[in-house]
């Protein structure tokens, strides 16, 4: 895969997707979005990869461009606009990855950059990170899941305030309301992200995927159906070698070594 605006690397069982257009503050373009889609597909299909880390090169995580690339004035009608917004999407590709995804937010996340981070499962932020959804003042609405994922993650009151006012939030404020899980000094971000990703990667991969699926679907299913899904996934795991290995390692008081089968 030849990429120009992102980088996809792997280190052991952890893959790193780096937005790599620092000169344009990693603003998302249709080209970058297509590369993110391709990278996510590669991560999903690579059994050696257990966890994905998403980050940005340079000092900015990802700055939205207003109006976004390809959405200039004078568009014809709703169909081409819809087409363009869809081509710019990245969060939906990240959200389609069944494996755990960690965001390492290396600096300001602006507009679609916030939406990208919201599609990840865990968020680590550098102390230089900040968050803002400035769409409304540009006459636009978030189009990459922001209006729906933000309230689901931090609650409707705070999501409402952030979206309607367009207020910028610091990393410290973000951790206080649960938008990010941890803030670390900028220089330690990637080391911390790698350590966190490796800790997740050391767990049984199928169990981690199922846990993610069950928790994410819990918000969308009636309780009865959610409990059924949980029970089904738990029973499915009975058939894996990793569950036997997990139980054996516990009995033998040793670290488990999971194969992902």
Partner 1 sequence: MSTQSTQAPETIILSKRDNIAFITLNRPHVINAYNVKMRDDLWVALQAVRDDADVRAVVLSGSGDRGFCAGADLTEFGSAPSQTIARQVRFERGVWELWLTIPKPFVAALHGFVLGSGMEMALLCDIRVASRDATFGLPEVGLGMVPAAGGTQTFPRLVGMPSALQALLTARRYTAKEALRMGLAHAIVERERLLPTVERLARRLAQQPPHVMALARQALLHGGDVPLPQALELEERLAVRAALAASRG
Stretch that binds partner 1, among 33-41, 54-62, 162-170, 251-259 (CB under 8 A): 162-170
Nearer to partner 1 by Cβ, of 60 and 174: the residue is 174
Other beta carbons within 10 angstroms of residue 132's beta carbon come to 19
Beta-bridge mates of residue 88: none
Q: Please state the closest distance from residue 115 (CB atom) to partner 1, in A.
A: 10
Assess contact for 49 and 10: CB atoms under 8 A.
yes
Interacting residue with partner 1 among 100, 107, 111, 145 (CB under 8 A)? 145
The two counts, helices (H) then strands (E), for the chain are 11, 10
The CA dihedral of 184, 185, 189, 192, to the nearest 10 degrees, is -50
Cα–Cα distances in Å, from 81 out to 30, 214, 257? 13, 34, 49
Min dist. Cβ of residue 224 to partner 1 (A): 15
Query: Which of the residues 33 through 92 are near partner 1 (CB under 8 A)?
Result: 67, 71-75, 77-78, 81-82, 85, 92
**Shortest CB 244 distance to partner 1, Å:** 34
Nearest-angstrom CA–CA distance, 120 and 167: 22
Among 161, 215, 236, 248, binds partner 1 (CB under 8 A): 161
156 counts as binding partner 1 under rule CB under 8 A: yes
Q: Distance between CA 179 and CA 83 in Å, rounded?
A: 30
> Mapping DSSP to helix (H, G, I), strand (E, B) and coil, where does residue 222 land?
coil
Q: What is the total count of residues that contact partner 1 (CB under 8 A)?
A: 44
Picking from 16, 17, 4, 74, the residue whose alpha carbon sits closest to that of residue 194 is 16
Per CB under 8 A, the segment of 23-31, 57-65, 99-107, 159-167 that binds partner 1 is 159-167
Where on the chain is the footprint of partner 1 (CB under 8 A)?
67, 71-75, 77-78, 81-82, 85, 92, 135-143, 145-149, 151-152, 155-161, 163-166, 177, 216, 219-221
């Amino acid at each position: 895969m030849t990429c120009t605006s992102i980088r996809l690397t792997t280190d052991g069982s952890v893959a790193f997707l780096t937005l790599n257009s620092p000169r344009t503050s990693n603003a998302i373009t249709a080209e970058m979005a297509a590369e993110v889609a391709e990278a996510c597909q590669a991560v999903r299909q690579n059994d050696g990869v257990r966890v994905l880390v998403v980050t940005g090169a340079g000092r900015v995580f990802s700055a939205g461009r207003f109006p976004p690339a390809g959405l200039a004035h004078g568009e014809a009608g709703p169909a081409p606009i819809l087409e363009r917004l869809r081509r710019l999407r990245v969060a939906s590709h990240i959200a389609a990855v069944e494996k755990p995804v960690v965001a390492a937010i290396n600096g300001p996340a602006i507009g679609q950059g916030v939406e990208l981070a919201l599609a990840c499962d865990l968020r680590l932020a550098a102390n230089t990170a900040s968050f803002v959804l400035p769409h409304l003042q540009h006459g636009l609405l978030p189009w990459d899941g922001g209006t729906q994922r933000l309230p689901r993650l931090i609650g409707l009151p705070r999501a409402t305030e952030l979206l309607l006012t367009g207020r910028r939030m610091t990393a410290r404020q973000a951790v206080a309301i649960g938008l990010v899980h941890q803030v670390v000094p900028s220089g330690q971000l990637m080391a911390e992200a790698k350590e966190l990703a490796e800790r997740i990667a050391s767990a049984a991969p199928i169990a981690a995927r199922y846990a993610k699926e069950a928790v994410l679907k819990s918000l969308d299913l009636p309780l009865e159906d959610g409990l059924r899904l949980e029970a089904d996934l738990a029973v499915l795991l009975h058939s894996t070698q990793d569950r036997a290995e997990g139980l054996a390692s516990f009995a033998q008081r040793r670290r488990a070594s999971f194969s992902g089968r």
